[in-house]
Amino acid sequence: MAYKPLLTIKNYSAFYPDKTVFERLSFSVGRGETVALVGANGSGKSTLFDIVFHRACDSMSVLADRELQTTGELHLVTDASVAYLGQQNEEPVRKSEQLIGGRGDGSRDMWIAFALDEDVAAGRPGSDGELRKRGIIETLSSGADLLLFDEPTNYLDMAGILAFEDALLGGCNDDCAVLLVSHDRRLLDRVADRTVYLSPQGVFETKGGFSAVRALVSSDVEARHHRAGTIRAQIGKLQQEMTTRMTWAARKEKSKRGAGSAKPHIAKQAAKQARRAKSAQLKAEKEIARLNETKPFVPKRQKLILPEYEVRNRQVIFLKDLSYRLPSEIASGDGRELFREVDLTVSTRDRVCVMGTNGSGKTTLLRILCREIESTSGEFRFNDGVKLRCLPQGLAGFFESSNLLDNFTDLEMSQTEARRVLGAALLRGDRVHGPLTQFSQGELVRAAVVRCILEQADFLILDEPTSHLDIETVEALEGLLESFPGGFLIVSHDREFVENVADRLYFLEDARLRLV
């Protein structure tokens, strides 16, 4: 299908005085089309959304106050309206001036599949997930020409994610354009007509979702490796030729000794050979310099190498008829029952994931397993001989020191050894000496898993470790968990992540835990 461009971007770059955000970005998005924008955290996706929104509002001066400079072309169709849902629930849906005064006709409400509770429907505060649903509904039903979604599935449970997918696939954007930033690989594969990837190697664009752009990037990386290898071989050949010619000239010069009457002739030939060798050397050095300039940037192939240890196969957790009821001060009456009659047995060989709707009690169940709270009834046995480590949402309270490297000094290893292991988890350089506040959530999650491995933990419990992480970081976390020698139990809404790391999947719904 041919789409009429609503937003066109050509050779567009954005930069601060001391930092380039992105450069030479080119793509377009038209009515009826969903274009995904992906890339690591910090690659400039949200910055581009801000630029587009302020362009729609004709208020680029707001960006100038932040010292952000831009070059290239960014064209938005005249009088096009924009609705923008940011990453955080604290940010209300922003709309361009063209929508102020009720221009939105609400005609897309028929596509909304979200079930809101009474408090949210009435405009009263709700959970993060319900607030997110409200923001998505407001954006979809705004009547805007261009919808900007920046991580719309943050805070959503599986039902919410599927409902958002169905809204886009059901045609709610037939008369508008959607620009979508997401780290949900399965969502991108389902809804994206095209994907634009901002990477250190440049900007890649292809039809389809993340799987398609990943294949394109992989092909490009392999081509770069091949080209770089060819250039290395050419440089090696030139260097060998230089060495050979210089060796010949030196041998000719040496042959003058004891040559007798033939010495003048040999000296003349030696000088001639030396001149040729010098000329060839200059040409070779010039060609080597040219080849080095044309050698493509090749991303380093990362390999996780972490300390190995053996974990014996032992039972970790045994649950039988476990139930939990909220305390009466939290819920009215005798307290709402979150779950009941839960049966679960987990060993150090098991890799278990739990999914479920928001508010179903997943985090509460993990807190019971981590022995932070007690169940209301039922049997709970834990093997005290197993070294268990719990990573809560946001890693609250996990790190004791405010400096990253200081959290590894009690593990009977040198600072050099600690830095080497952190480097295996892609945490490198002098940054490891810095405060935790300088690290992204994904980097801290990786550091926490590394800490557990260095402690030789037997079993991990992780509560939504992939929340707010970019795709590259989620894949790095998958690599860490694959190399972990023990077992784990994880709560997550990321379908691709769950499929990649779990060998058993449970669903907590309607107060029951069932094996899927």
508 pLDDT band, cuts 50/70/90, is very high
What pLDDT does residue 505 have? Answer: 95
110 pLDDT band, cuts 50/70/90, is very low
Query: Looking at residues 239-264, what average pLDDT do you find?
Result: 65
What pLDDT does residue 36 have? Answer: 94
Residue 170 to residues 109, 121, 193, 405, 473, Cα–Cα distance (Å): 12, 23, 14, 49, 31
Beta carbons of 257 and 190 less than 8 angstroms apart: no
What pLDDT does residue 121 have? Answer: 52
Average pLDDT over the chain, rounded to an integer: 80
What pLDDT does residue 65 have? Answer: 47
Pick from 279, 269, 268: nearest CA to 245: 279
What pLDDT does residue 433 have? Answer: 85
Q: What are 36-46's pLDDT values in tens digits?
A: 999 887 788 98
What pLDDT does residue 87 have? Answer: 82
What pLDDT does residue 191 have? Answer: 93
Query: Mind spelling out the 3-state secondary structure of 115-168?
Result: CCCHHHHCCCCCCHHHHHHHHHHHHHCCCCCEEEEECCCCCCCHHHHHHHHHHH
Beta carbons of 479 and 328 less than 8 angstroms apart: no
Beta carbons of 429 and 498 less than 8 angstroms apart: no
What pLDDT does residue 498 have? Answer: 92
Alpha helix positions (H), 23-126:
45-56, 61-64, 118-121
Cα end-to-end distance, the chain, whole Å: 39
Q: Which of 249-253, 278-282, 329-333, 418-422 has the lowest mean pLDDT?
A: 329-333
What pLDDT does residue 105 have? Answer: 47
What pLDDT does residue 302 have? Answer: 53
Q: What are 215-248's pLDDT values in tens digits?
A: 777 665 666 666 666 777 777 777 777 777 777 6
Residue 16 or 321, more confident: 321
Q: Any idea which residue has 């037997």 for tokens?
A: 458
Residue 327 or 272, more confident: 327
Residue 69's SS3 state is strand
Residue 502 burial (10 A CB sphere; 0-12, 13-18, 19+)? buried
Cα–Cα distance measured from residue 21 to residue 68, given in angstroms and rounded to the nearest whole number: 9
Cα–Cα distance measured from residue 375 to residue 318, given in angstroms and rounded to the nearest whole number: 13
Q: What are 385-418's pLDDT values in tens digits?
A: 999 999 988 888 888 888 888 888 888 777 788 8
Q: What are 414-439's pLDDT values in tens digits?
A: 778 888 878 877 777 888 888 888 88
Cα–Cα distance measured from residue 158 to residue 356, given in angstroms and rounded to the nearest whole number: 7
Q: What are 324-349's pLDDT values in tens digits?
A: 998 765 555 456 788 999 999 999 99
Pick from 391, 392, 389, 422: nearest CA to 405: 422
Q: What are 352-366's pLDDT values in tens digits?
A: 999 998 888 999 999
Cα–Cα distance measured from residue 470 to residue 492, given in angstroms and rounded to the nearest whole number: 15
What pLDDT does residue 113 have? Answer: 47
User: Cα 266 to chain center, whole Å?
Assistant: 68
CA-angle at 173, arms to 148 and 124, nearest 5°:
60
458 pLDDT band, cuts 50/70/90, is very high
